[in-house]
Structure 1
């Protein structure tokens, strides 16, 4: 039957972006047949409906599917009827099916639809992924439905609040493995190819005769769940198996991790982490994991980092695979935190689900805080993840939220094009930072207790913000909603300006913007700010600033600072004298100001100086004052600040060389002290500090370090072995080799990319290919990326070229030339917004800003609008920094650094 398309002018109005509420699905029977040779699938779905209001039209989501016959059975009417007509809203991805007889309110019905579609490499919906076996490309298939791609695989009511149970049946070739959310309850092999499009499985006889054996795998019915976490997969998977015992029920559950046979040997670490964190989650929340199993599937083509499908977590190789013989600590941390983050979603998102994408942060903010900090700290206490959170998440959140183009954590999503774009540092990192601040204010133990109450009250249901605040408020007796409301519902965050009087401090809050003081129209929000005042009498976490400014009594003659432990989501601007006093005390001893205090102090000083609240020279002086610092994370904040300045002044050779010389002064002694050899007995801090020091030294062109690393790569070229290169320094060595070398090194890196021994090596090679200062090789890298790179990996190639000041304009021009090709290839993917950002974010002049605006004029930017606006803001901020601070930076470098 033909399907007329509703014209754009008659598409749904903005207020009508949600599905009608006349019916709700209660159960789906989904049957899917997968043909990995033809790269097609077909299926049949039966959807049980509860009729809430009389209707003769059913409206549901569908996209990129060919829909066959549609029939409707009604309990109340005792009849089955076929459609009288159908129409399709392309932009809204909604099918309207009209029937002659209305369904009465309060009745039940069953909708039956046959469909078929193509497996593509889109990394959305039900798609194919590839791997190499015996020199041949092989295929397997898996799903990625979040946020709105379930509709690409079967017709459904594709909204988070419309939960239902799902019974999945997969038909596949007998020599493959089929997976879904639940365990298989039966698997039968047939010598005739089954059909999936008949009304029952008994339609097997309709299949064509085949020499190959096919099988039908039926899975248990799920609990009530949202469509975006439904999942299935089919392919020649191998697996590793473990288990854990529930501390609540004593049940032992199987845990598996699946991958293609060539990769499965690198999956043990990820499986081990999953087994360790699951019982901790159960104890912390006092809620047992409800499904009979929890699998993980590792995919070689995957757009997002990982996905929390209930019972069948999926993710890319770099997030789950670890070469036990060549593992660096950065990779270990990434895999452990990713696995823990996705397991956290089994509670945050899967058991209790946001009512709409407006509340995405209820999923992602919690999974970030719980999965990557509170829980993982209990498994790997030596990693100091509470401190690292400041670097990995708080600063990422503050950097993005300092732009006028930011958005609230709780953000309206009236258009499906907006949903992909809010999977960003605000929904993840700012949300987690606000929750961390709240936990510090009420006490972590009480916070977790309140979260448990929240989850228990919303089991298998949906939630909005107030449900969470009520749970934590009940556990703590505090006005949680009043404290946290503006942090979630308003964009931005404050800078606290502190002035001193005898025996007191006056604190004023204003919105912080990276371009400088906010204009009145952008400075209307008053936040309730936990000041976390540290003084000689200890840390007071109870006092708050809930007005524009207030005065607080304190003995200013003794050491003190605000935001103790850097738990607050704000910056603090002290007088130059107070900043110097805090810095001197922090540099002298850890007795007063903690590691977290020092990290926050450095980041605040950098951001405030770049935004014009203080001189950039004051930040450079602070970095120099910390030259004897021992902690990796503090050094990371210092070198990040210097790198930010180099990134802004990238076209000013004199300043770049001055900043490089300053970096050599700081990093050189660290390299001399720590050397290049790693020991299994040393602390993670020492390991990471050595890596950071070598990276800074090589990036600042310290000749002894450059020669050392280039020599290692020369030995690799001569011998074919890289066993002499420490895994921690592999990527740095590759970058130095391409920068210092030429065609031979460049070609060697391409070969490594084509046949890497592990995902970490592949990423290192992709990023390093962009290190050549030869514009011709830079362009060749980008051509190579589009021709040979997997879609998920293009950002690594682009990122490498973007980071190279000698070639970033090559990337910008290449993107402009290939825009149509790139847009078509990545349309709808998470990657699109990152590619746009990489192509333009390195620029730093008003001329570049204006030319970028002009390039995108008239283009449909709806799928990356937020990223583009944020990138344009970044360009303007850097241009303002250059104009404001060029002379200040030049004078400081001339007076303080020997080139």
Structure 2
């Protein structure tokens, strides 16, 4: 911790610039915080006192720490038993989010000091710092919960602190609250004392050394359930408006997972308890605060009677992700935010790894290829992507890197190295890493060193390129059958299909993973621009077996055809088939292949039987439909008809009745086929959806199975009108089930009637929709041209209100900007977006906006190349379909 700070200039009365970063001066180091907070639910404020014990490491006459939107009333500086200053001079720098305390007497290096501050803060409604979350009680009254979200840089909103990951300290927290309220923090309760007839002070035991972004405290009315199936108490808490029994699945899973992680990491969970809390207003999915994990309600509470298989999987992954962070992130923490991937990439990989151990029948490594890997490859194919290790200079840049690169690509790199080293060796390296750096901070090199030591291989040499550079390669394969060789060449892939020579200088170590009938050769690595490799059997081979590596493969049309046959012959794994379709779709979008070739490839998979592969087939078709959304109606209708033809036969065959004997994957498969056939117009499915919906509207709440709730709602909105829309809106307003409410909110945007579009766009600011959910009603509007147009106009007309409700530095605004802009597919649309933002400050979401613009540019280029190609294909397909029907 001192190492990074030791290189800084002392004093300066503000922020120091080290490695281009704006960080606090290194003249003092915090060791312990004694923090007392008293929230007032009437005034929506809180009073606080913080006493920070400091080591003085350079002679100093000032102390600079982080504050944001905090009103400091009094400040004292002590050294030893001596008061240095009882009213030092304070100066605030709003832009840098700091307060500097200046005093006349110099404190010499090597001494101890104490900084005491009394302050007031707002229990804000921005889901950041110490904030208020509200919920509706059964009697219609409003309940309030005071809770926290500190990551990445909002501990400074809650209390004055040294708000950087490397400045770890111990925390002793006291909460003063009404006697009826539950008080929680990272640690267990040390004492509870009565202050008055109505108030109590709850003091918590001192925490281990930890970063400020992991500090958490909650005050409010909460119910809980507890399990004794782990050596320490584990509880799930929820506000009184939730059925606490719905936390049972997460509670039991947490007990199993903590035990599994202790064994896997050979490291005891070091805190005395684990609490997991459902928070009604929450900007992320969940937050790994040490010993006190907070969640969105839908990501912690699960009711098998009202939620489907995909929701159960999501809850399991989120719980296991946050628990992995208790070691990777909390016990060992990145030293600054450019190492965020160390936290998020590993926790993402670990959630899949543990999910696979606990629920092998879910086959999560198969869906990993269509989910995590494709998410990473999609974002990283844009010029405006960023390296996994991204330089972060300022606090307001940090939120933008919580994206598919840090999480998904980060986890793909972890998966790649675990496969390369072997899982046992990899885990041994992880155990050594955790032991060596417990309670400390690390950089990426520390992880590579631990893995190198465990494996005897130079891991940094192989992996540094993957984390320090943006993008990934496309590997082009040409064949020479006469001498049984393949020529492979790597180039940077950009979705916009306009790679400049200077952007194509990085050469990646590409693990080729050659699959033949003899098995997989994991030893082939392409580490230069191009190379030639022997292939014994030209009848069948495929690169990137199981798609464990980060690249796309471009084959000749003839080879693609052979691979299509190999898929039918059972020579390819599920991951191979799904990944091959994903590559073909992405390469058509990037100009490497014709879109008609992809459509033919999809058509050839009609005998496919696996859910994950079908999911990717329909995803790639959806991407084509998304790019062609403003094109001729006849072409769009033809693509819809093709989707209907692909999905209908299977949908009818599998049906939409769900039985207890259906396994986890079957349930999701049936649900996907039902929606994929019904939305493009399958009459039988539409009739079934309308029938279920009529029963539901008449009061039979079990008429629609949770697995197909979203599809039924979507279908009746698309093919119905105001009546169906209003029933779904009332479902959102009155349902007690968070999952059902979210589904209702998400589908409203599918209505195309101008009045209903207007109604949908009135919801975000109506007071009915929580700010955490503003993106939900508007996201459905992207499914039709009228909605895309209306969305952009709504954003431009309401920009001031949007930025007021969603401050740019907090992340949610970037999500809304992306939803409102990225569905355009022409250069005219791009121009409109750029023109609107030309005069606006884009600080806090500039990267998201750039990615949105790149996505539009890519679609416009794709259309220019393949507009006629797709039109011709659709006409030919339609003629053949008509003939076959005759």
Q: TM-score range by the shorter chain?
A: over 0.9
User: 1:680 and 2:685 equivalent?
Assistant: no
User: 1:45 and 2:50 equivalent?
Assistant: yes
Q: Does the 8 Å contact 2:591/2:862 carry over to 1?
A: yes
Q: Does the 8 Å contact 1:244/1:278 carry over to 2?
A: no
- Match of residue 186 from structure 1: 191
Q: Distance in 2 between matches of 1:749 and 1:896?
A: 37
- Match of residue 205 from structure 2: 220
Q: Distance in 2 between matches of 1:190 and 1:101?
A: 38
Shift of 1:78: 3.7
Q: Distance in 2 between matches of 1:725 and 1:89?
A: 56
Shift of 1:588: 2.5
- Match of residue 854 from structure 2: 873
The structure 2 residue matched to 1:821, chosen from 793, 797, 801, is: 801
- Match of residue 510 from structure 1: 491
Q: After the TM superposition, which of the residue ranges 223-232 and 477-486 deviates more from structure 2?
A: 477-486
Q: Does the 8 Å contact 1:454/1:471 carry over to 2?
A: yes
- Match of residue 5 from structure 2: none
Q: What does the per-residue CA deviation read over 1:222-275, in whole Å, with 9 as the maximum and x for residues that have no partner?
A: 000000000000001000101333xxxxxx100001011221232111112111
- Match of residue 747 from structure 1: 726
1:139 alignment partner, SS class: strand
Q: Distance in 2 between matches of 1:757 and 1:831?
A: 25
User: 1:554 and 2:558 equivalent?
Assistant: no
Q: Does the 8 Å contact 1:779/1:811 carry over to 2?
A: no
1:412 alignment partner, SS class: coil
Change beyond 3 A, Cα 1:414–1:310: same
- Match of residue 753 from structure 2: 774
The structure 2 residue matched to 1:545, chosen from 526, 529, 532, is: 526
1:862 alignment partner, SS class: coil
Q: Distance in 1 between matches of 2:232 and 2:740?
A: 34
Q: Distance in 2 between matches of 1:294 and 1:489?
A: 35
2:593 alignment partner, SS class: coil
Aligned ranges 1:643-654 → 2 under 5 Å: 643-652=622-631, 653-654=633-634
Q: Does the 8 Å contact 1:83/1:98 carry over to 2?
A: no
Q: Distance in 2 between matches of 1:78 and 1:722?
A: 70
Q: Does the 8 Å contact 2:763/2:777 carry over to 1?
A: no
Q: Distance in 1 between matches of 2:743 and 2:430?
A: 39
User: 1:307 and 2:284 equivalent?
Assistant: no
User: 1:18 and 2:12 equivalent?
Assistant: no
The structure 1 residue matched to 2:393, chosen from 414, 424, 429, is: 414
Q: Does the 8 Å contact 1:11/1:89 carry over to 2?
A: no
- Match of residue 124 from structure 1: 128
Q: Distance in 2 between matches of 1:776 and 1:375?
A: 48
- Match of residue 9 from structure 2: none
RMSD: 1.3
TM-score, length-scaled by structure 2:
0.96
User: 1:464 and 2:449 equivalent?
Assistant: no
Shift of 1:755: 2.0
Q: Distance in 2 between matches of 1:486 and 1:13?
A: 26
Change beyond 3 A, Cα 1:498–1:16: closer
The structure 1 residue matched to 2:214, chosen from 229, 232, 254, is: 229
User: 1:343 and 2:323 equivalent?
Assistant: yes
Q: What does the per-residue CA deviation read over 1:840-899, in whole Å, with 9 as the maximum and x for residues that have no partner?
A: 111100000011100001211011111100000000111111111011111122222437
Aligned ranges 1:583-732 → 2 under 5 Å: 583-589=564-570, 592-652=571-631, 653-717=633-697, 719-732=698-711
Aligned ranges 1:482-501 → 2 under 5 Å: 482-501=461-480
2:786 alignment partner, SS class: coil
Q: Distance in 1 between matches of 2:630 and 2:537?
A: 44
Shift of 1:140: 1.1
Q: Distance in 1 between matches of 2:517 and 2:712?
A: 47
Q: What does the per-residue CA deviation read over 1:491-513, in whole Å, with 9 as the maximum and x for residues that have no partner?
A: 00000011112221111100011
- Match of residue 319 from structure 1: 299
Q: Does the 8 Å contact 1:451/1:468 carry over to 2?
A: yes
- Match of residue 99 from structure 2: 95
Q: Does the 8 Å contact 1:299/1:314 carry over to 2?
A: yes
Shift of 1:11: 8.3
Q: What does the per-residue CA deviation read over 1:391-446, in whole Å, with 9 as the maximum and x for residues that have no partner?
A: 11100000000000010000011011110000000000000011111111111121
- Match of residue 896 from structure 1: 877
Q: Distance in 2 between matches of 1:21 and 1:802?
A: 49
Q: Distance in 2 between matches of 1:447 and 1:380?
A: 22
2:785 alignment partner, SS class: coil
TM-score, length-scaled by structure 1:
0.94
Q: Distance in 2 between matches of 1:267 and 1:119?
A: 27
Shift of 1:85: 1.3
Shift of 1:552: 1.0
Q: Does the 8 Å contact 1:770/1:804 carry over to 2?
A: no
2:198 alignment partner, SS class: strand
Q: What does the per-residue CA deviation read over 1:455-496, in whole Å, with 9 as the maximum and x for residues that have no partner?
A: 111100000000000111111111111111111000000000
Q: Distance in 1 between matches of 2:547 and 2:805?
A: 42
Structure 1 stretches lacking a partner, 5+ long: 1-9, 192-211, 246-251
Q: Does the 8 Å contact 2:382/2:494 carry over to 1?
A: yes
Q: Does the 8 Å contact 1:510/1:518 carry over to 2?
A: no
Q: Distance in 2 between matches of 1:871 and 1:654?
A: 28
Aligned ranges 1:511-526 → 2 under 5 Å: 511-516=492-497, 518-526=499-507
Q: What does the per-residue CA deviation read over 1:80-122, in whole Å, with 9 as the maximum and x for residues that have no partner?
A: 4224411111111011110111110011111111011111211
- Match of residue 195 from structure 1: none
The structure 1 residue matched to 2:742, chosen from 763, 767, 776, is: 763
- Match of residue 564 from structure 1: 545
Shift of 1:13: 6.6
User: 1:85 and 2:89 equivalent?
Assistant: yes
Q: Distance in 1 between matches of 2:595 and 2:422?
A: 36
The structure 1 residue matched to 2:334, chosen from 354, 359, 367, is: 354
Q: What does the per-residue CA deviation read over 1:533-591, in whole Å, with 9 as the maximum and x for residues that have no partner?
A: 112332111221110011111124231111001101000001111111111111232xx
Q: Distance in 1 between matches of 2:262 and 2:249?
A: 21
- Match of residue 333 from structure 1: 313
- Match of residue 146 from structure 1: 151
2:439 alignment partner, SS class: coil
- Match of residue 789 from structure 2: 809
Q: Which of structure 1's runs of 4+ aligned residues deviate more than 6 A?
A: 10-14
User: 1:851 and 2:832 equivalent?
Assistant: yes
Q: What does the per-residue CA deviation read over 1:158-212, in whole Å, with 9 as the maximum and x for residues that have no partner?
A: 0000000000000000011000000001112232xxxxxxxxxxxxxxxxxxxx5
1:101 alignment partner, SS class: strand
User: 1:271 and 2:251 equivalent?
Assistant: yes
Q: After the TM superposition, which of the residue ranges 519-528 and 353-362 deviates more from structure 2?
A: 519-528
- Match of residue 398 from structure 1: 377
Q: What does the per-residue CA deviation read over 1:583-602, in whole Å, with 9 as the maximum and x for residues that have no partner?
A: 1111232xx21111011000
Q: What does the per-residue CA deviation read over 1:592-636, in whole Å, with 9 as the maximum and x for residues that have no partner?
A: 211110110000000001111011111111101110101000000
Q: Does the 8 Å contact 1:779/1:814 carry over to 2?
A: no
- Match of residue 380 from structure 1: 359
- Match of residue 196 from structure 1: none
1:460 alignment partner, SS class: coil
User: 1:259 and 2:238 equivalent?
Assistant: yes
Q: Distance in 1 between matches of 2:497 and 2:750?
A: 33
User: 1:57 and 2:62 equivalent?
Assistant: yes
- Match of residue 67 from structure 1: 72
Q: Does the 8 Å contact 2:84/2:103 carry over to 1?
A: no
2:326 alignment partner, SS class: coil
- Match of residue 114 from structure 1: 118
Aligned length: 859
Q: After the TM superposition, which of the residue ranges 569-578 and 512-521 deviates more from structure 2?
A: 512-521
Shift of 1:684: 1.9
Shift of 1:670: 0.8
Q: Distance in 1 between matches of 2:233 and 2:88?
A: 48
Q: Distance in 1 between matches of 2:241 and 2:198?
A: 24
Q: Does the 8 Å contact 1:527/1:547 carry over to 2?
A: yes
Q: Does the 8 Å contact 2:811/2:845 carry over to 1?
A: no
Q: Distance in 2 between matches of 1:356 and 1:699?
A: 46
Q: Does the 8 Å contact 1:85/1:99 carry over to 2?
A: yes
